[in-house]
Structure 1
Amino acid sequence: MAGRVTQIWTTAEESAPMEPVEGIEAVDGGLAGDRYQRGTGYYSPFDVCEVTFVAGEALDRIREEAGLDLSDGQHRRNVVTRGVDLGDLLAARFRVGQAVFEGTRPRPPCRHVEEVAELDGLMDALRERGGICADVVEPGPFRVGDGVEYLEDTSFDGEGLAAAIRDRESQR
């Protein structure tokens, strides 16, 4: 996988404008100081994605097809990538800089992102292009320009569940 990070966005509070940064620390619970890591996101604590990733190519298609330019962070995702099939990172561990993430689920668009951006049609434009959620597995810094390195598949194989059950039973 030859992908890389092209932008990083964060904001400290729900509905506040996203701010670009050149580098950031992935910490337990998300990106240092970001709204979901701080517990101040719009969906906290009910529907939290520690870190969100979106493909720059998807944002290009949205601009071309829907005429919506999201280059200023109105997509409300944390990390913009290029050259990465984000679907390949679901149920997988991957490294960005010194941090390791695990892709947990697709990140569908919501009405809130459209309301904050004040862009009619944004929710529909992001459908099937909203990126993914990921958890921080190993904290560490990363920067714009860092590569995205696929590490391993973490999808369910049955043995992980069996081991978790054995561990839980042994703790009783």
Structure 2
Amino acid sequence: MRSCEQALAILDGGLAEDRYARGRGFWRLTDGCQVTLIHAEDLARIKRRLGLSLDAGEHRRNLVVSGLARTELRGSEIRIGEALFEWHRVRPPCGYLDRVSGAGTAKALGRSSGHCLRVCKTGLINVGDRVFV
């Protein structure tokens, strides 16, 4: 995983250069996630409670957002920058996470492991863009 300042969300494809959009890396087509998102508050809570820091993409989610209730996204359209997304489902952690970030990481994330989104409108997203639900 790598951090970037800007990404292009592609209609029905995911983020340009991402493993889901390119069909590369560790994932399965049946995962059905074009874009994954996690809440910064959940990452902070895990760090406080368990001392587990998932910085620099170790959580294996595409986007990190803050200031939204987890339930606020369910069934919603989400605009970030120029792109429009549709909430698809909760994204449970996968076992591969333990291999790359250490044993117990997937369990620590549990129900706080993020969401799957579908791209409904192609557009650029940037670090710091506001999220509209």
Could you say whether these structures have the same fold, taking a TM-score greater than 0.5 normalized by the shorter chain as the test?
yes
* 1:92-111 mapped onto 2 (5 Å cutoff): 92-111=76-95
Instruction: State whether residues 99 and 138 of structure 1, in contact with CA within 8 Å, keep that contact through their aligned partners in structure 2.
Output: yes
Deviating runs (4+, > 6 A) in structure 1? none
TM-score (norm 1): 0.74
2:31 aligned partner, one-letter code: D
Distance 2:73 2:48 in 1: 25
User: Larger radius of gyration, structure 1 or 2?
Assistant: 1
CA deviation string 1:123-162 (max 9, x = no partner):
1111010010000000100101100001xxxxxxxxxxxx
Equivalent in 43, 59, 69 of residue 59 of structure 1 = 43
Distance 1:108 1:143 in 2: 25
Residue matched to 1:81:
65
1:143 aligned partner, one-letter code: N
TM-score (norm 2): 0.95
Does residue 1:144 correspond to 2:132, yes or no?
no
Supply the RMSD in Å over aligned alpha carbons: 1.0
Q: Identity of counterpart residues, as a percentage? A: 41
Runs of 5+ in structure 1 lacking a partner?
1-17, 151-172
CA deviation string 1:55-113 (max 9, x = no partner):
00000011111111111210000000110123211211110000000010000111111
Residue matched to 1:33:
17
